[in-house]
Amino acid sequence: CEAMVIARDLTLPAAPREIYDELKENAIEVEVLVNNAGITRDGTLHKMSFEQWDDVIAVNLTSTFMLMRAAARSMMRSRSGYGRIINISSINGIRGKFAQSNYAASKAGNIALSKALAKELGCPRTSTWCPPASNDRAFDENWAWHVARFRPIAQILADNGCRLGIEFIGPQTLRARTKYTFIYTLGGMMELAEAIGTGNIGLLLDAWHLYTSGDDLDVLDVIMAQADVVAGRQLEHEVQ
């Protein structure tokens, strides 16, 4: 396995195009883009400078737009005809956070940007994650709550020809500080998908969460036989 590192200042408008030009020079065809660049410059509204606002928006939102634009062009022209764009947002883009108006705005913008691009390019798949623990609901109550919550969403997606991938969160540290443990394994997530029962639910498989949940590669044999990875290529390509 080989890796190529290209360092660029993503706040510069030319940076995304330079990245893709360099990849093209090295005969590398990008099939997956993960927009994960993010910074914080916290401050309450009356103390936040324009520079604090602008820095966060530039890195967290504008660079995402620029990279998505470059990636979409490249993917649509690729020989394989394959492409996936994954944008990392934050719960604070939905609920906000004290002294993070710039960060919350950038992450809310990421969510809206992703939805808009999905309409432009066509999006047969979407994904979300499931918290591995709760301070409010015991396991059985939480299970019923998630089934009831996911089912109408999944049905709307199914009616529009879309599939939903759900990611489990593996690290024990995220469960240790909460009162009730919930689903944190591959098998548990597949059982939840089956319980939702709309037929278009699959697994968003993350190797890190597979490892930190305590599972190993043997468990993938089960998935190869009976499950579906919604976010990604065919499973045999996804796990190599």
- What are the pLDDT digits (tens) for 158-185? 988 888 989 999 999 989 889 999 999 9
Q: Which helix (H) or strand (E) holds 202?
A: strand 201-203
Average of pLDDT values for 62-85? 84
CA atoms within 13 A on the CB side of 199: 3
CA atoms within 13 A on the CB side of 50: 0
Catalytic residue among 20, 82, 103, 184: 103
Q: Tokens 């660049």 belong to which residue?
A: 37
pLDDT of residue 229: 52
pLDDT tens digits, one per residue of 195-240: 999 999 988 888 889 899 998 777 777 666 655 554 443 333 333 3
Coil, strand or helix at 146? helix
pLDDT of residue 223: 67
Pair 30, 74: CB distance under 8 Å: yes
Average of pLDDT values for 55-73? 92
Between residues 89 and 99, the one the model is more confident about: 99
103 is catalytic: yes
pLDDT of residue 34: 92
Q: What is the pTM of this model?
A: 0.66
pLDDT tens digits, one per residue of 114-158: 889 888 887 788 888 899 999 999 999 999 999 999 999 999 989
pLDDT tens digits, one per residue of 3-61: 889 999 988 888 888 998 999 899 888 889 999 989 999 999 999 999 999 999 999 99
Q: Tokens 């190599």 belong to which residue?
A: 240
Q: Tokens 């934050």 belong to which residue?
A: 90
Number of helices followed by number of strands (H, E) in the chain: 11, 7
Torsion of CA 11, 12, 17, 22, to 10 degrees: -90
